[in-house]
Amino acid sequence: ATPTSVTVGIGKGAEHGILIKGAESLELARKIQTIVLDKTGTITQGKPVVTDTTSILDLIPNSPGVVDPLTLWRSIGALESNSEHPLAEALLQYARERSKDAQLPTVDRFEAIAGSGVKGSVEGREVSIGTQRWFDEMGLDSSAFQAEQQALENAGKTVVFAAVDGHLQSAIAVADTVKPNSAKAVQTLQKMGIEVIMLTGDNQRTAKAIADRVGIKRVLAEVRPDQKAQMIQTLQVQEKKIVAMVGDGINDAPALAQADVGMAIGTGTDVAIAASDITLISGDLQGIVTAIRLSRATMQNIQ
């Protein structure tokens, strides 16, 4: 009867938009003790939009080396058109609007620094776009923006900075919507006795604001892409937990593979899907609950 129940379980999963790769993950899902959720594209829609921009000139009127807005946005758009990060899409879209769809300049050199941002050369100018922490590391002082940045981050927005030729130009806030069922799914999982953790490369304050909205109490933020798998391992080894990871990005793939059960968002990257045991086709986090319930029901039939 065992193989039959598993086949039935996998079939039922498929009916609910949950693709289970093997019998093993169906058997293991009922034992999950900790669920780690990526933020962008997993808890949120992953379709960020630019909501606020502030020029350094609004704060320090005589700040040196500030380029005109059209030059700035054409440079940002050009650089971000080379990036695959979800934020890049938002910045590119906004740059296109600001530059009235005039053709964006070509980029002479481009570099993506995982977890930090992008930089390169556009029309002879050195342009960087990224996190406050990275700007700090490069010796670019963004403290003038501090109060505003904190307010935006407390509202759940991600703030990035732009610099041209070593001069800070602007702060740009990007907002992403929480998926309709994320809070409900988190609550149900917690009621099932499972700890839910958020894992993100984004900053503490923004991560905490989004976590609060969906009822997640434990947040692992500012985690570099190459440290995400290690975080899963720590939960497995030090906390001795059976861990599931849910994610959508290329960055999440090693963590999805490291987890006891990796679950990919169906609308996410192929790499994340390939690294996972289960795919939630629609990306609705309620699918996690369904997968675990299916596992519990299937294994009950077997025993």
Residues acting as catalytic residues: 38
Q: Is 201 in the site for ligand ADP (CB under 6 A)?
A: yes
How many residues form the binding site for ligand ADP (CB under 6 A)? 22
By beta carbon distance, the residue nearest ligand ADP is 201
Residue 18's CB: how many other CB atoms inside 10 A?
A: 24
CB of residue 176 vs ligand ADP: minimum separation in angstroms?
9
CB of residue 247 vs Mg ion: minimum separation in angstroms?
6
Q: Is 171 in the site for ligand ADP (CB under 6 A)?
A: no
Backbone dihedral angles phi then psi of residue 60, each to the nearest 5 degrees: -125, 90
Q: In this chain, which of 40, 258, 279, 286 binds ligand ADP, going by CB under 6 A?
A: 40
Taking the C-alpha atoms of residue 247 and residue 197, their distance in angstroms, rounded to an integer, is 12
Question: Alpha helix (H) ranges present in 81-158?
Answer: 86-98, 132-137, 146-154
Q: Is 118 in the site for ligand ADP (CB under 6 A)?
A: yes
- Give every strand in the sheet of 261-265, ordered side by side: 18-20, 278-280, 261-265, 243-247, 34-38, 195-199, 218-220
Conformational region of residue 188, where left means phi above 0, alpha means psi within -120 to 50, and beta covers everything else? alpha
Q: Residue 78 is which amino acid? A: A
Which of 20/219 has CB closer to ligand ADP?
Answer: 219
- Residue 110 β-bridge partners: 120
Of 120, 74, 110, 68, the C-alpha closest to 94 is 74
Which of 48/120 has CB closer to Mg ion?
Answer: 48
Q: In this chain, which of 202, 248, 260, 277 binds ligand ADP, going by CB under 6 A?
A: 202
Q: In this chain, which of 28, 32, 37, 39 binds ligand ADP, going by CB under 6 A?
A: 39
Q: Which does 262 bind (CB under 5 to 8 A by kind): Mg ion, ligand ADP, none?
A: none
Taking the C-alpha atoms of residue 131 and residue 118, their distance in angstroms, rounded to an integer, is 10
Q: Is 77 in the site for ligand ADP (CB under 6 A)?
A: no
For the segment 221-250, give every residue that binds ligand ADP (CB under 6 A): 225, 249
Residues near ligand ADP, by CB under 6 A:
39-40, 80, 83, 85, 87-88, 115-118, 129-131, 158, 160, 200-202, 225, 249, 251
